[in-house]
C-alpha cells in the first residue's frame, strides 16, 4: 500500500515577535514493512539544520526560527509504501539497550489497578500475554477526545477509564514494564477507513518478544499495526517521542494548530508514477 502524508504544525504568538529552537522528529525511517519513497520537511532554518540520530534511533533535525516571526509553520510531507507484517517491527537500530525500556517514570508507573490487570494477563507465552493485555485495556477504556492532556499519567487515565491513543499506549507500557517486558511508545500515522472516525496522527506501543524483536500493539483499536500504519519514531513515552519539542523566546502566549492528512495513493496513480519513473531512468 502507498500512503501520502501531510503533517502541518502552526505556532502563533500573541506577543512580540518570537524566535524558536525546535527538535523535529518528523522523518519516518525505513523499517520492516515500510519503505520511504520520498519525504520533505519545510520549516524555518531547515536548510541549516543540525541533524543527528538520537539514542532511540530517531533522526532529529534541530532548527531555529526567524527572530522576527509571529508564527512558525512546520510542514512534513511525503509518500510511504507499506506492507502488513502482523505488527512485527523486528530488531531495530537504536543505541540504547532493551533494558532501558523497563525504566519507569511518573507517566508510565503502574498503579495497583494496572498491576492487577497485568498480572491477570500474565502467561508463560509472552505473545499471549501481550495480546491479552491489549484486549483487556481496550475493554476497560473508552476513547474520549480531549478527555486527557499531555501530562495525564497512565494511572490517572486508567482510573478515569477514558482517554486517547496516548493514554492507551502509556497504560500498555506501564503494564508491560510491571511484568518486566521492555516496552516503548511509538508515534506515527494511521490510514483510517472512515476519515471522520478519528485523528490520523496516532500512537501505539511496541514490546520486545524473544526471537522476534519488537512487536506493535495498538490497544486503542485492539490490533497489531497493519499496512495502514506508518511508523514515525519511538522512545520511552509520549514526551520523549514527541514529533516536535523546543523552546521559544517571546512574551505572551503560544497557540498550536496541527493538521494531519493521510490518504492512500490510488492504484492507477501508483502505476502512472511508476511508469513515469521508468521512462525518466
Q: List, for residues 124-149, the tens digit of each pLDDT value.
A: 999 999 999 999 999 999 999 999 99
What is the spatial distance between Cα 242 and Cα 257, in angstroms, rounded to a whole number? Answer: 15
Model pTM score: 0.91
Provide the pLDDT for residue 280.
Answer: 38
Q: Which domains does the chain have, with CATH numbers?
A: 2-81+242-280 (2.60.40.2250), 85-235 (3.10.620.30)
* Alpha-carbon distances, residue 261 vs 9, 76, 189, 232, 258 (angstroms): 12, 11, 9, 15, 10
What is the spatial distance between Cα 163 and Cα 171, in angstroms, rounded to a whole number? Answer: 10
Q: What are the grid coordinates assigned to 47, written together?
A: 536548510
Phi, psi dihedral angles at 107 (to 5 degrees):
-75, -35
CA atoms within 13 A on the CB side of 258: 9
150-208 per-position pLDDT tens digit: 999 999 999 999 999 999 999 999 999 999 999 999 999 999 886 555 568 999 999 99
36-86 per-position pLDDT tens digit: 999 999 998 999 999 999 999 999 999 987 666 778 899 999 999 999 999
Amino acid at each position: 500500500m502507498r500512503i501520502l502524508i501531510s503533517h502541518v504544525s502552526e505556532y502563533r504568538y500573541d506577543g512580540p515577535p518570537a524566535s524558536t529552537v525546535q527538535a523535529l522528529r518528523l522523518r519516518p525511517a525505513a523499517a520492516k514493512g515500510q519503505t520511504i519513497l520520498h519525504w520533505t520537511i519545510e520549516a524555518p532554518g531547515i536548510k541549516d539544520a543540525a541533524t543527528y540520530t538520537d539514542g532511540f534511533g530517531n533522526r532529529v533535525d534541530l532548527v531555529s526560527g526567524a527572530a522576527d516571526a509571529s508564527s512558525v509553520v512546520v510542514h512534513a510531507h511525503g509518500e510511504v509504501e507499506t506492507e502488513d507484517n502482523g505488527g512485527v517491527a523486528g530488531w531495530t537500530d537504536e543505541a540504547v539497550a532493551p533494558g532501558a525500556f523497563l525504566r519507569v517514570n511518573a507517566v508510565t508507573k503502574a498503579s495497583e489497578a494496572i498491576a492487577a490487570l497485568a498480572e491477570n494477563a500474565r502467561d508463560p507465552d509472552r505473545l499471549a500475554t501481550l495480546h491479552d493485555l491489549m484486549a483487556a485495556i481496550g475493554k476497560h477504556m473508552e476513547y474520549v477526545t480531549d478527555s486527557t492532556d499531555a501530562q495525564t499519567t497512565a494511572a490517572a487515565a486508567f482510573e478515569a477509564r477514558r482517554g486517547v491513543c496516548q493514554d492507551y499506549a502509556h497504560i500498555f507500557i506501564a503494564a508491560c514494564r510491571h511484568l518486566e517486558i521492555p516496552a516503548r511508545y511509538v508515534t506515527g500515522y494511521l490510514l483510517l477507513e472512515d476519515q471522520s472516525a478519528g485523528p490520523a496522527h496516532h500512537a501505539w506501543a511496541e514490546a520486545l518478544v524473544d526471537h522476534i524483536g519488537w512487536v506493535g500493539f495498538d490497544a486503542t483499536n485492539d490490533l497489531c499495526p497493519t499496512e495502514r500504519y506508518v511508523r514515525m519514531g519511538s522512545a520511552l513515552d509520549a514526551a520523549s517521542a514527541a514529533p516536535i519539542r523546543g523552546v521559544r523566546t517571546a512574551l505572551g502566549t503560544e497557540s498550536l494548530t496541527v493538521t494531519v492528512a493521510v490518504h492512500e495513493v490510488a492504484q492507477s496513480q501508483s502505476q502512472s508514477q511508476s511508469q513515469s519513473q521508468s521512462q525518466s531512468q
